Amino acid sequence: MSNPQSGSQPSFERTRAFSRMLLAMVVFLVARAIATRSAHGLAGGAWEPMLEQAMLAFLLLLGFSFLGYAQDRQANPVAEQGLVQREGWGGEAALGAALGWAMALVCLMGIVLAGGLVVRLNFTPGAFGWLLVDGCFFAISTLAVTVAFQGYPLQTASRAFGDSAAAMLLAILYGLVQINTMGASRASTAFCFAFGLLLGIAYLRTRALWLPWGLHFGWIAAQALLFGLPVNGVTAYSPVVQCDAYAREFFSGGAYGLQGSWFAVLLALAAIPVLLRMTGDLNFRHNAPKLVPGGIPVDLDAAARRQHEAATREQEPAAPSLVQILPAGPAAGTTPGLTGSGTAANGDAGESANQG
C-alpha cells in the first residue's frame, strides 16, 4: 500500500524552502537598516561607510547562521553558507578576481577606443594610505553583498525552484535593490541583473562564496582603485588615480560609471560562457554526485594478497599415511566351512564317471 503523503512531500519541502528564502530577505532588510543607523550614530565622516558595511556583513552572517541552525539543523552554518575552509579556496577567490579585473580592463579599452581618458595621478604618502583603506572597504562591502545574494538566500531558493530559476530570481532581486541608488538608470538595472546572474552561476559552479566574492571585488576594485573611474556615481574612492572618460554613455556610463553602461551589460552576459569554461574542474569536483557503495564490502587488495601468498608459499610434504594389515579371509565367491565338502563331492563324481 502506498504512502498517501509521498506525492505531496516534495511540494511541502519546496514550500518550506521558499518560506525560508522570504525569512532571509527579511533578515537582509532588518540588518541593513540596523547597520545604517548604527554606523551613523557611532562614526562619522570617512569611516562611516566602512563601519556600515562591516556591521552589515556581521549581521547577515549572524542572522543567516541562526536560520541555518534553527530551520535546517546545520552543524556549521557559516560554512554551509559558502564560507567553507577547503583546499584551494584562495585560488578560487584569485580566479574570480582575475575575471573581474579582466572585465573592467575590457570596458576601459572600449572607452579608450570610443573616445579617450584623461588621467591624473597623486603620489603623496597619504594617498596610498587611503588607497589601502578603500581596498578594505571594497573587500568588506563585496563580502556583504555576496553573503546577502549568493549565500543562504540562493541556497534556499535553489531548493525551492531549482538552480537555474534560483539564480535568475536572486539576480532580479539584486537589480531591484540597486534601483534605488542615486543616478541609477535602465542600463544600471540591467547590468545589476546580468552581473547578479554571473555571481549566482559562480556560486552554483563551486558551491562556495570564494569565487563570486573574488569576482565582485575584482570588478569593483579594478575600476575604482586601479583605473580611478566612478562607481555608482561616486568618484572619491581612489586618491591615487583619477580618470575622466570622454566617450559615449554606451561605453562609459556617464557620471554613474561602468555599471551604468550598456557595454558592461553585454560584457557581463558574454562573461557567462567564459566563467563556465574556467570552472569546469571546480564544477566536477564540487557538483559531481557522490558514489555510495552498496552490497557486500570486498577488500580487493587483501584478496589479491592472499592469492599471492598462496601461490608463492612453499608446500610442505604430505605426512605418510598409515597402512593397516588385516587377517586373511576366504576367497571371494566361496562360503566359509564348505570348501572341503565341495572337494569330496568332486572326487566322488570322478569315481562314478570312471566306473561307468
| Better pLDDT: 126 or 327 | 126
Q: Note down the domain range covering 149.
A: 85-287
Query: What's the confidence (pLDDT) of residue 344?
Result: 44
Q: Read off the pLDDT of each residue in 226-247 and give the average, rounded to a whole number.
A: 86
pLDDT in tens, 9-55: 578 888 999 999 999 999 999 999 999 999 887 877 778 889 999 99
Query: What's the confidence (pLDDT) of residue 13?
Result: 86
Q: Is the model's pLDDT at 256 over the cut of 70?
A: yes
Alpha-carbon distance of 193 to 154, in angstroms, equals 14
Q: Is residue 14 part of a domain?
A: no
3-state DSSP assignment of residue 120: strand
What is the radius of gyration, based on Cα positions, of the chain?
Answer: 42
Q: Is the model's pLDDT at 202 over the cut of 70?
A: yes
Distances (CA, A) of 205 to 150, 172, 182, 232, 334: 12, 19, 33, 28, 96
Whole-structure pTM value? 0.78
Provide the residue type at 128 as one letter: F
CB 99, CB 215: distance < 8 Å: yes
Q: Is residue 234 part of a domain?
A: yes
Alpha-carbon distance of 238 to 221, in angstroms, equals 9
Give the confidence band of 309 by pLDDT, cuts at 50, 70, 90.
Answer: confident
Report the domain count for the chain.
Answer: 1
Burial zone of 139 (CB within 10 Å; 0-12 exposed, 13-18 middle, 19+ buried):
middle
Q: Is residue 177 part of a domain?
A: yes
Q: Is residue 171 part of a domain?
A: yes
Query: What's the confidence (pLDDT) of residue 298?
Result: 61
